[in-house]
Structure 1
């Protein structure tokens, strides 16, 4: 191992993968976190400030028109008034909060999880496999998952400080190990 590389092994389901990360990887993970933070904050901010965002037509029409395998689910959601009202608030404000979380590196894993979930829903809603199953929505979902997996909030982010916050003489993440799923 050279001074510029770190070995990163991982085992899932009995299968171990190992790779060497270059120290420059940190900068690329930071760039991905900030890119997605800007994109989501901007998208949400425009919806909040512009007003008039409504998901009803999208939910009932887009998935049917594009042949999404979950079209019936989206139509059912779009025909449920309380759910459409919820989505009309959750999407714009969710994008704003996810974007802010990523930009400042706070609750990064939580923000990245919800960002990935939103991108999965957009992927299913914007279904278009004419050029293959991988599109921008799918790629962004993987970017969010990478940001979470690499603990990007610890790179020039507030999560570094929150994780070490002292509670009765112990860092927060030691006292509450479950918080590692939200921070980082």
Structure 2
């Protein structure tokens, strides 16, 4: 098997980063997508099937108990019954949908964005900097962002087919360029 490298180059804010990916990198990108998909699906489906998930106690107590700098925001969210009801549905079903999106590689960037957003909230709510600012929640957030950046849904995923779907003689992402932000 011949080994090849793929060059990467990106400029942001006047700074350019360059590097090379080995062709085996595609398998690790796929592994990250599947790992996060399975982790979120399992977490969400266990909450859905238990039928007893409630975010109220967590919102009202955990962030304040662990010294989160945004504890008051979490308490305010936990004090609004309509918001708690929303979170009680959004967290378990969000985890299930994010997990399925990543497992099947469908709407991967959208799923990864919401996964990263959830992990940011978990990071702030589970605030623990005893061993530094980087913890598992923060690392998972970065994995979600990497999955989105690499367009991991195109690797043995449905996004490659969704993007190519014919719409008026053009591929979906050519007809609707905004679709690139949710697919891939």
Corresponding residue number in structure 1 for 2:22? 22
- Quote the Cα distance in structure 2 between the aligned partners of 1:101 and 1:3: 30
C-alpha distance in 2, partners of 1:3/1:36?
27
Matches within 5 A, 1:30-179: 30-179=30-179
Which runs of at least 4 in structure 1 moved beyond 4 Å after TM superposition?
none
Listed one character per residue, the Cα deviations across residues 20-71 of structure 1 (whole Å, up to 9, x for unaligned) are 1100110000000000000000000000001110001100100000000000
Q: Classify the secondary structure of the residue corresponding to 1:160.
A: helix
For the residue of structure 1 that corresponds to 2:21, the secondary structure is strand
Q: Counterparts of 2:33 and 2:3 in 1: how far apart (Å)?
A: 25
Report how far residue 14 of structure 1 moved.
1.3
Q: Secondary structure at the match of 1:133?
A: coil
Q: How many residues align?
A: 183
Equivalent position SS for 1:10: strand
Distance in 2 (CA, whole Å) between partners of 1:88 and 1:134 is 27
Across the aligned residues of Structure 1 and Structure 2, the Cα RMSD in angstroms comes to 0.9
On the 8 A contact 2:3/2:22 being kept in 1, the answer is: no
Between the aligned partners of 2:113 and 2:182, the Cα distance in structure 1 is 9
Stretches of structure 1 lacking an aligned partner (at least 5 in a row): none
Deviation at 1:169, TM superposition (A): 0.5
CA distance in 2 between counterparts of 1:168 and 1:90 reads: 35
Please report how far the alpha carbon of residue 3 of structure 1 lies from its aligned counterpart in structure 2 after TM superposition.
5.1
* Alignment partners' CA distance in 1, 2:87 and 2:39: 19
- Contact 2:106–2:183 under 8 Å retained in 1: yes
Which structure 2 residue ranges, 5 or more long, are not aligned? Answer: none
TM-score (normalised: structure 1)? 0.98
